[in-house]
Amino acid sequence: MKTNTILTGDRPTGKLHIGHYLGSLKNRVKLQNEGKYKMLIMIADMQAFTDNARNPEKVRNSLIQVALDYLSVGIDPNKTNILVQSQIPALSELTMYYLDLVSVSRLERNPTVKSEIKQKSFGQSIPAGFLTYPVSQTADITAFKADTVPVGDDQEPMMEQAREIVRTFNNTYNVDTLVEPEGYFPPKGQGRLPGIDGNAKMSKSLGNCIYLSDPADVVTKKVMSMYTDPDHIHVEDPGKIEGNTVFTYLDAFATDKEKVAELKEQYQAGGLGDVKVKRYLNDVLQEILEPIRNRRAEYEKDLPGVYDILKKGSDAANVVANQTLKEVRQAIGVNYFD
């Protein structure tokens, strides 16, 4: 029976937060433990450099933080290969070959790229590496012949571009060397989480996150400051659920759905204060985050051991990527000395 290969990962630009946990990390652990897939998780430091090239320490420091986050949520290096993008030289050569198969105008039309360029306010100073990162991402995916790539809904244009490059390569050189990947999307309702300030997106740059590594008292402080219904001034006032971040988080994280339904009913009728709802949310989040914090604390005692996990994962990934590169060179005809 065929074993599907999954590749996923994150840019190391800071610690991971509960939005990452809900949208991807929780599902990665589930897929890992099902044992049906060959799992690779990449810390995409080269992609992080596309808009942080002048701040290498940020990327370097974030790399170990992301690794700790992975291990603390339950990513098991005995079941999942955790690797570092920059330590796989074949990816850069594959990217160069693929760049010649895609036009600048096609990259500029990619909706995900357009959106992120606008968000980062590059203007006319778009780093070339940022514009071409869908090509780099295709190299990442195809190097390991991943056929399944867990992504958010907003990443579907990236997946389509990867499939285009794969088809173009295989058709141009009349081979079936590269595998077309498919996106694996999070279950409905487990997409992007709003920030604690009510902003539509939880973002490190906006400072509206609850991090997986936050101490218990910091989590409590953040929860108690969360955006609710600005018109719910007095306890007896009827409150709104829509756009109320506290209830959005309860829907996402609370397992006792009947309790949440009761709280919503009371809140909308009047007679339930924000503080009581926030205290319940705090209890819910602390129950999830405490074992994550505890595991992280254990791994933090042996950081050289964490780097060793990353090195072993990268070494194993190099074997696979180098074999794919050999096949790509053969398809193109640049294996002059073989």
Cα–Cα distance list, 257 to 1, 76, 99, 196, 264 (Å): 39, 30, 49, 21, 11
* Residue 92 burial (C-beta neighbours within 10 Å; 0-12, 13-18, 19+): middle
Share of the chain above pLDDT 90, in %: 84
pLDDT at 262 over 90: yes
> Cα separation of 217 and 223, whole Å?
10
Give yes or no for residue 19 having a pLDDT over 80: yes
CA pseudo-torsion sign 189, 193, 196, 199:
negative
pLDDT of residue 331: 98
* The one-letter amino acid at 97: Y
Q: What is the mean pLDDT of the segment spanning 264-269?
A: 96
Give the Cα separation of 31 and 6 in Å (integer). Answer: 9
Q: In the sheet where 37-43 sits, what is the strand order?
A: 80-84, 37-43, 4-10, 148-150, 182-184
Closest C-alpha to 331, from 106, 140, 94, 4 = 94
Per-residue b or e along 184-212, where b marks 16 or more CB atoms closer than 10 Å to that residue's CB: bbbeeeeeebbbbeeeeebbbeeebbbbb
* pLDDT for the residue numbered 2: 64
User: Does residue 191 carry a pLDDT above 70?
Assistant: no
3-state secondary structure 229-277: CCCCCCCCCCCCCCCCHHHHHHHHHCCCHHHHHHHHHHHHHCCCCHHHH
**Res. 156: pLDDT tops 90:** no
Mean predicted confidence (pLDDT) in 244-257: 96
Tokens at residue 246, please? 């506290």
pLDDT tops 70 at residue 24: yes
| 3-class SS of residue 45 | helix
Which class for 73: exposed (0-12), middle (13-18), buried (19 or more C-beta within 10 A)?
buried
pTM for the model stands at 0.93
CATH architecture of 214-298: Orthogonal Bundle (1.10)
215 pLDDT exceeds 70? yes
Alpha-carbon span 59 to 65, nearest angstrom: 10
Which pLDDT does position 206 carry in this prediction? 81
What does the pLDDT average to over 227-253?
94
Quick one: tokens of 91?
A: 């990816």
The architecture of the domain spanning 4-192+303-332 is 3-Layer(aba) Sandwich (3.40)
Kindly tell me the burial class for residue 138, based on how many C-beta atoms sit within 10 Å of its own C-beta (0-12, 13-18, 19 or more). buried
Give residue 119's pLDDT.
82
pLDDT tens digit string along 78-88?
Answer: 999 999 999 99
Q: Mind listing the pLDDT tens digit for each residue in 94-124?
A: 999 999 999 999 999 999 888 888 888 888 8
Give the mean model confidence (pLDDT) for residues 10-22: 95
The secondary structure element, H or E, covering residue 207 is none
Q: Quick check: 254 pLDDT over 60?
A: yes
Name the average pLDDT for the chain: 94
What residue segments make up the domains of the chain, in order of their start? 4-192+303-332, 214-298
pLDDT in the model for residue 40: 98
d(CA 218, CA 230): 23
Q: Map residue 81 onto helix, strand or coil.
A: strand
In sequence order, the β-bridge partners of residue 40 are 7, 81
Question: Taking 90 as the threshold, does the pLDDT of residue 314 lie above it?
Answer: yes
| 104 CB-contact burial (10 Å; exposed 0-12 / middle 13-18 / buried 19+) | exposed
Q: How confident is the model at residue 188 (pLDDT cuts 50, 70, 90)?
A: low
